[in-house]
């Protein structure tokens, strides 16, 4: 009788946990598709903006178009490699990788694409059992799943600013509907 109860318990556990595991895998699969589409759209936005407009900013307190682009890269690196991957975070005040400095438009686009590649690789190999692990996020407790969602919100926020900069310079941004 004890063997039947044990066997039944294992079978029930398998039946219950299998759909939950599949849902987490589906989350990562769906997330990576969204992130790849975000990359394509951001890259297109960066390519359309003329290089001589990369220093444009809407107000003195705003980031330039180029600073918005590389800020996306810095935040993507921090969210994925540091918060999810456990790597020591870059120090914004001393980091030179994501500073505009003397980078060309082409170099900035290459850097953003490499950062997307690195983030996608880390997330595609991420242990889905860790998605519910919690960590500190600017004084708030957030799960690693929430960190992934915050990352995409952050990309969208700064890309939206870049789209406004395009409009302020007489350019028509690419249609977003193609990247959903």
Q: Does a structural domain hold residue 18?
A: no
Whether 2 shows a pLDDT value over 50: the answer reads: yes
Q: Does a structural domain hold residue 5?
A: no
pLDDT per residue over 52-92, tens digit each? 999 999 999 999 999 999 999 999 999 999 999 999 999 98
Q: Does a structural domain hold residue 14?
A: no
Region 23-51 average pLDDT? 93
DSSP for 86-127, written as a single string: -PPPP-TTT--TT--TT--HHHHHHHHHHHHHHHHHHHHT--
Task: Determine the pLDDT at residue 20.
Answer: 45
CATH number at residue 129: 1.20.120.450
Q: Does a structural domain hold residue 73?
A: yes
Output phi, psi for 138, to 5 deg: 55, 45
Whether 172 shows a pLDDT value over 80: the answer reads: yes
Q: Does a structural domain hold residue 1?
A: no
Domain total for the chain? Answer: 1
Q: Does a structural domain hold residue 2?
A: no
Region 121-138 average pLDDT? 96
Q: Provide the domain limits for residue 83.
A: 24-179
Task: Determine the pLDDT at residue 6.
Answer: 60
154 is an annotated ligand-binding site residue: yes
Alpha-carbon distance 41 to 39, whole Å?
5
Region 21-46 average pLDDT? 88
Task: Determine the pLDDT at residue 166.
Answer: 98
Q: Does a structural domain hold residue 16?
A: no
Q: Does a structural domain hold residue 43?
A: yes
Alpha-carbon distance 1 to 5, whole Å?
6
Region 22-50 average pLDDT? 91
Region 88-99 average pLDDT? 92
157 is an annotated ligand-binding site residue: no
pLDDT per residue over 130-165, tens digit each? 999 999 999 999 999 999 999 999 999 999 999 999
């Amino acid at each position: 009788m004890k063997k039947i109860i044990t066997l039944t318990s294992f079978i029930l556990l398998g039946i219950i946990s299998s759909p939950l595991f599949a849902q987490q895998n589906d989350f990562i699969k769906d997330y990576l598709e969204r992130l790849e589409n975000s990359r394509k759209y951001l890259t297109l936005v960066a390519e359309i903006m003329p290089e001589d407009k990369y220093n444009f900013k809407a107000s003195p307190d705003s980031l330039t178009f180029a600073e918005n682009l590389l800020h996306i890269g810095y935040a993507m690196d921090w969210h994925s490699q540091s918060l999810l991957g456990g790597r020591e975070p870059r120090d914004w005040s001393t980091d030179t990788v994501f500073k505009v400095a003397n980078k060309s438009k082409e170099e900035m686009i290459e850097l953003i694409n490499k950062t997307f590649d690195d983030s996608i690789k880390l997330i595609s190999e991420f242990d889905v059992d860790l998605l519910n692990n919690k960590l500190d996020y600017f004084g708030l407790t957030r799960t690693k799943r929430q960190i992934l969602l915050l990352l995409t919100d952050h990309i969208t926020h700064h890309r939206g600013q870049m789209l406004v900069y395009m409009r302020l310079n007489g350019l028509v941004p690419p249609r977003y509907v193609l990247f959903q």
